[in-house]
Amino acid sequence: DTAVSQTPKYLVTQMGNDKSIKCEQNLGHDTMYWYKQDSKKFLKIMFSYNNKELIINETVPNRFSPKSPDKAHLNLHINSLELGDSAVYFCASSQPGGTGGSSSPLHFGNGTRLTVT
Partner 1 sequence: KNQVEQSPQSLIILEGKNCTLQCNYTVSPFSNLRWYKQDTGRGPVSLTIMTFSENTKSNGRYTATLDADTKQSSLHITASQLSDSASYICVVGNQFYFGTGTSLTVIP
Task: Report how far residue 68's alpha carbon sits from residue 52's, in angstroms, rounded to the nearest whole number.
Answer: 11
Where does residue 46 rank: exposed (0-12), middle (13-18), buried (19+ CB within 10 A)?
A: buried
Report how far residue 43's alpha carbon sits from residue 41's, in angstroms, rounded to the nearest whole number. Answer: 6
> Which residue's CB is nearer to partner 1, number 27 or number 79?
27
Footprint of partner 1 on this chain (CB under 8 A)? Answer: 4, 33, 40-45, 90, 92, 94, 96-97, 100, 102-103, 105-111
Beta carbon of residue 10, minimum distance to partner 1 (angstroms, whole number):
11
Q: How far is the CB of 82 from partner 1 (least distance, A)?
A: 24
DSSP state letter for 104: P
Instruction: Decide whether 79 or 108 has the Cβ nearer to partner 1.
Output: 108
- Residue 77 Cβ vs partner 1, minimum distance, rounded to whole Å: 21
- State which residue, 61 or 96, has the beta carbon closest to partner 1: 96
Would you call 5 helix, strand, or coil by DSSP?
strand
